[in-house]
Structure 1
Amino acid sequence: MEAKKIPEVILNSGKKMPAIGLGTGSFPLPPHETLISILIDAFEVGYRHFDTATFYGSEEPLGKAVDKAFELGLVKSRDEVFITSKLLPSDAHPDLVLPALKTSLQKLGLEYVDLYLIHWPLRLKPEATGPADMLKENVMPSFDMKGIWEAMEECCRLGLGKVIGVSNFVYESPILKEIAFARQKTSLRKSMTCMVIQIALRWIYEEGVSPIVRSFNKEEMKETLNI
């Protein structure tokens, strides 16, 4: 089967990103072997941009799917694959950002991610590590955007996250204004993380937004790329 070629968009850094990506967040998450098989289906139909996060628990199976895609000859080089991952709210502390990304890279089996995002404008206590810990009593009162962003920039400087940005932030949020000092422009990602009907998805795409779609059905994956 010939994979469909997906158009690319150019980010602020000049890096190219496939205009449509596949989300890997699902609750509950399928068993790892099942998810690996699903992701190989996605590679086969043409997806090259995959969106994961520490919170999703899908980094490890995604990394194994990437390895399998190379083994099967579906992709020839790392440059053909665009991987996005995100910072867990309990790691949204300046001294925890770099270790968190290194842990994600270890799970993915990669030397770098193409895009690393602050997942939410939310900081949890460091011990709050899973979905069950997303409780009000674990939310910390302040969000050190300046300190966190400087740590994100260090990840970028080290080449561990080629592009950095934010997710689920309100565009005019005062928190974002705190990074006006930053040496790099924020890569604001407008994404659609739920499955939508094809006509709506096409409108989103034509508006210049790069959607992250989620379907674990191979035929639906192919239909989505037909936009």
Structure 2
Amino acid sequence: MAPASGPVPVHPEAVPGRPEAVRWVVPAGLLGFVGEPAQLPGPLAALVADGPIARLEVEPAGVLIDLRPEADWAQAGESVRAALQQALAHPEAWYPPRDVASPADERLAAAARQVLAGEVGEYARSHGGALEVVAAHDGVVEVRLEGTCEGCPAAGRTLEERVLVGVRRLDPSVRSVVARRVAPASEPSGRRLLPLWPRVRGA
């Protein structure tokens, strides 16, 4: 990927329950992979090797950074931001994890996991269901339907209109999201099926 023509916008977000961590929101797909980089550009690499950064992980639309226990964001925040922006201007100098067979597939899976960790997945869990990414390949995300999600008549629509749309915002390479069932589609008699998305009142 070519160097950026100007400063890359970054926006810090707190990580609930983790004061040592900050998620720096960056343009989706900027770095082309997810996971812990095998190599970083100079100034940012120095902050990892001998500075306040304990861990750095690339996400589909962000960079998650944990500080060492003795560091804090009030003191280290500006130096981390400056080094991160300088490094993001040269995405070609970021190397993906060595053990990732397909960076594109891993990036797509990470985007789908991020979407399912949000409100779609939370709603399913609140009604005894679950959605889990089991595979991502060639632009196709496979999602396992469990609990009340399995066999639900609204599942296909939710995957198409909610999950796919959300994943596409993070990774435009996605082509489809499909269901992988864990059991035959037959349902025990009398089982109540719950929708994956709240019904709109008056609809």
Q: Whose RCO is larger (CA < 8 A, sep 6+)?
A: 1
The structure where strand makes up a greater share of residues is 2
